[in-house]
Amino acid sequence: MRRALAAAVVVLAAAAAGRAEEGAVPHFERDIEPILTARGCNGGGCHGKSGGQNGFALSLFGFDPDLDHRSIVSGSRGRRLAPAAPLDSLLLQKATGTVPHGGGRKLDPDGDDTRLLARWIAAGAPRGAPDDARLERITLDPPPRSLAPGETVALAVTAHYSDGSSRDVTATSAWHASEPALLDVRDGQVRAGGHVGEATVMARHVGRIATWTAPVVRPGSVDAAAYAALPRRTPFDEPVWRKLAAMHLLPSGQAAESTLLRRTSLDLVGRLPTPEESRAWLADTAPDKHARLVERLLERPEYADFQANKWADLLRPNPYRVGIKATLALDTFLRDSFRANLPYDEFVRRLLTATGSTWRDGATTMFRDRRGPDEIVTMASQLFLGVRLECAKCHQHPFESFSQDDFYSLAAFFGRVTYRGTGLSPPISGGEETIAVALSGEVRHPLSGAVLPPRPLGGAPLEIPAGEDPRARLVDWLVSPDNPYFHRAAVNRIWGELFGVGIVDPVDDFRATNPPSNPELLDALVAEFRAVGTDQKRFLARVLASAVYDRASLPEGDNATDARDFSRHYRRRLRAEVLADAIDDVTGSPSAYAGHPSGSRAVQLWTHRAPATFLDVFGRPDPNQDPPCQRDPDATVVQSLHLMNSADIEAKIAAEGGRAARLAESAAAPAEIVEELYLACYCRFPTSAERESLAALFGAEGSSRRRAAEDILWALVNSPEFVFVD
């Protein structure tokens, strides 16, 4: 009796502010679905995961209201709802913790959410009419502004509907902070952390998102005279300085000349300068010596090898899956493209429209490894648009507005790709395949079964006649100046490689909830990239000419906590192949790699399956992954232990005919040996203190000249100054 009376009271209860009006029947999509999303019921770790949880399945984040309504109302023979006694409904008893629930208590038994759900159940759990007002967008208020450390601000979410109405939906919105240490958010309450920086808060409500980006700055202002004196050599400098001024920060000073030499060489050709090259650079007093250095490096053959090695991470397939010949053909295509300095637009066109033999036409290998339009578009969108569409393959993207329609409409550009030949036959996969374009081919929506015409993201469907390659039309859209993704993704990736962090980071994750740290800088880079005809060498030369590039890595003033605004150069560990080659160079003892010609360097390896313990320890991709594109840039304890204890490295340092042995057997004075080793490893002269203390080792009791030279070289190789790019 008490439960029935309570149910009657619930039906007549007034709605909470911003919910269904008193007496009105709650709307499933507008009132009920947001509760399930905001309380985590349809999250990936609960009933929203594939297959649901304990027999109850919901669409992830409510992307499919029809499925959710059926599952709640009709699923399990309707046992989840009790319209005559709403509070006895299994749906509410589980959510309120009245009966055991694996997900714990999600709703307050006396809360507004519970009362609203009970009203909906008592009304017969209606779905709503097809012509009901639909949610069009949500907005966040108040507008973004700077926050002081520790300051709080309350955000409100307003939903705007197709009939012109709007209402506050803050209570049923889900929240996410890009960097909780800077901006933490709970139920719309944003609190600034103690560090200076910028972060983004996202609100999500029924498949719509809104973002709120704000900087955390300390009170005060930037020194006006110091700001005015900052160098401005390229269009990229002013946007960075302006952003730093808004953050009340000044950049670090210019890096030492030896640091700039080492940094530039490693960034462009992945190779250390020789001691002779370092001496010549440090002795040169011409004001244009850095520009001339960049020009020389861009013409060296190592440039193509280094750039191809980086792109191989992104495109290289697992040779176990596609075969050795196809893997080698792709590697050859990449190196030839960079040797010819193929403009980026043309490089991408040749990849995405590739046809021919997988044994001879290397660009076709990406289609051999990815067999269906859905696999191809997942890779292509991430690489060339900077958009991770894979979530939208199965459901509405949780942090973006992309839907399954968007995913499969873009995949339709690859619907006519065909395969002729023996196909894949692991583990050898030796058969040759020919990639071609058929006269017809289609991609269907996985739920509705409807045939989807090719459609660019945010564009209109295209009618592509038989005989025309849809992929060519896709590339036409990609390289168009109107495309909001393609060139932005390209310059952001290049900038991220040079500075260790992208303007959008991760560099392949452009979305509304991950905005660029400096939109003005990104626009300037895109304008320059297009102005040089997407010539990557000319673009690199422009970026390296900037004052932003030659900043020191050591923090100055308050910029120690800056990790996104380029107030200093962010130190980063050398890539595995570059570090391996650097050790070979400074020790004077080259490595030998199985299956490669004598004298091959690590950056010239065309397959990750070449045995090399050092490269595996320092994070080269696992060749058994599919594809093997994940590279870990972080330093680890295992790496430090390997440098200190590896028998191979010790053998290189102590090798007969190696650098240490040659210097010890020469007539050079101890101080000259120390200088030569410093130039080889650090591209700089030792300080007076370093020179004196290390030269003294040559006269230590029980120490020979060779042993002293080897010990010094071992110490330099194990130092952060050698392992990292400053």
Q: Which of 481, 465, 526 is nearest to 473 (CA)?
A: 465
Residue with tokens 């109302």: 73
Q: What angle do CA 669, 648, 625 make, to 5 degrees?
A: 135
Residue 557: what pLDDT? 86
Q: How far apart are CA 249 and CA 612, in angstroms?
A: 44
Q: pTM here?
A: 0.86
Q: Is the pLDDT of residue 18 over 70?
A: no
| Residue 21 confidence class, pLDDT cut points 50, 70, 90 | low
DSSP characters over 271-295: -PPPHHHHHHHHH---TTHHHHHHH
Task: Express each pLDDT in 654-705 by its tens digit.
Answer: 999 999 999 999 999 999 999 999 999 999 999 999 999 999 999 877 679 9
608 near 621, Cβ under 8 Å?
yes
So what's the pLDDT on residue 702? Answer: 65
> What is the pLDDT of the chain when averaged over all its residues?
89
Return the domain boundaries, the chain: 2-122, 135-216, 236-254+484-567, 343-479, 576-725
What band does 370 get if pLDDT is binned at 50, 70 and 90?
A: confident
**Alpha carbon distances (Å) from 364 to 369, 396, 457, 506, 643:** 9, 31, 24, 27, 39
Q: What is the pLDDT of residues 257-273, one digit of tens each?
A: 999 999 999 999 999 99
pLDDT in tens, 389-438: 877 666 555 556 678 888 889 999 999 999 888 666 554 556 788 999 99
The segment with the largest mean pLDDT, out of 17-31, 187-201, 282-296, is: 282-296
> Cα dist. 696→169, 671, 690, 709 in Å?
73, 9, 10, 11
- Name 513's Cβ contacts closer than 8 Å, sequence gap at least 6: 176, 178, 200, 202, 209, 211, 399, 400
What percent of the chain lies above the pLDDT cut of 90? Answer: 58
What is the model's pLDDT at position 1? 33
Q: Are 169 and 157 in contact (CB under 8 A)?
A: yes
Alpha carbon distance 429, 397 (integer Å): 35
The one-letter amino acid at 422: T
Tell me how far apart the alpha carbons of residues 87 and 566 are, in angstroms, rounded to a whole number.
Answer: 56
Q: Are 548 and 699 spatial neighbours (Cβ–Cβ below 8 Å)?
A: no
10 Å CB burial of residue 89 (0-12, 13-18, 19+) is buried
List C-alpha distances in Å: 450 to 64, 545, 579, 662: 17, 52, 52, 73
**pLDDT for position 196:** 85
User: What pLDDT score does 30 carry?
Assistant: 87
Q: In the predicted model, what is the mean pLDDT of residues 165-183? A: 90
Q: Which band of pLDDT confidence, cut at 50, 70 and 90, is reported for residue 75?
A: confident
Summarize pLDDT for 114-154 with one digit per residue, the tens: 999 999 999 999 988 778 888 899 999 999 999 999 999 99
More confident position, 558 or 184: 184
| 3-state DSSP assignment of residue 572 | strand
Q: What confidence category does residue 357 fall into, taking pLDDT thresholds of 50, 70 and 90?
A: very high
Determine whether domain 135-216 maps to CATH 2.60.40.1080: yes
What are the pLDDT digits (tens) for 637-656? 999 999 999 999 999 999 99
- The least confident of 216-220, 322-326, 395-399, 629-633 is 395-399
Yes or no: say if 85 and 2 are a contact pair by the CB < 8 Å rule: no
Lowest mean pLDDT among 39-43, 519-523, 547-551: 39-43
pLDDT above 80 for 13: no
Q: Is the pLDDT of residue 22 over 60?
A: no
Q: Which of 12-21, 509-518, 621-630 has the highest mean pLDDT?
A: 509-518
Residue 402 confidence (pLDDT): 77
pLDDT over 60 (residue 219): yes
Q: Give the pLDDT mean for 614-626.
A: 82
Is 60 exceeded by the pLDDT of residue 627?
Answer: no
Task: Name which residue leads in pLDDT, 626 or 309.
Answer: 309
Identify the residue with better confidence: 646 or 194.
646
Q: What's the pLDDT score for residue 63?
A: 76
- pLDDT tens-digit profile of 445-489? 887 888 899 999 888 999 888 889 999 999 999 999 999 999 999
Phi, psi of 595, deg, nearest 5:
80, 5
